[in-house]
Amino acid sequence: MIDVLQDVRALDCRTDASQQAGIKEIQESVEWMRLYTDIKGSEDVFVSLGAIDHTLTGMIVRDNMSVGYCKLKKKNLTLQVSDTAQAVMKRYGE
């Protein structure tokens, strides 16, 4: 989850190209985490990833996303991913 959080924090909302590149990085990290979670059998994390996907989808389907919209979605993603990461880390005593 830390990789996903790092990608979310690195998302640059200033231009369409940087938005799309950042979203692609986040998607790849989420997919990696989904595969790991599926193999591990962590249903609660899998559900959290669904919420993160929902937020990402709102960004993907928009053509020419405004900077303001991108920043709002980035804030939502940051909260979702941070909460999920904290839950996972607490589970394993880290």
Mean pLDDT by 10 residues, the chain (94 residues): 95 95 96 91 87 93 92 97 87 65
Residue 7's nearest CA partner among 89, 85, 91, 63 is: 85
What local confidence, expressed as pLDDT, does residue 43 receive? 84
Q: How far apart are CA 89 and CA 92, in angstroms?
A: 5
Residue 50's nearest CA partner among 88, 81, 72, 6 is: 81
What local confidence, expressed as pLDDT, does residue 94 receive? 55
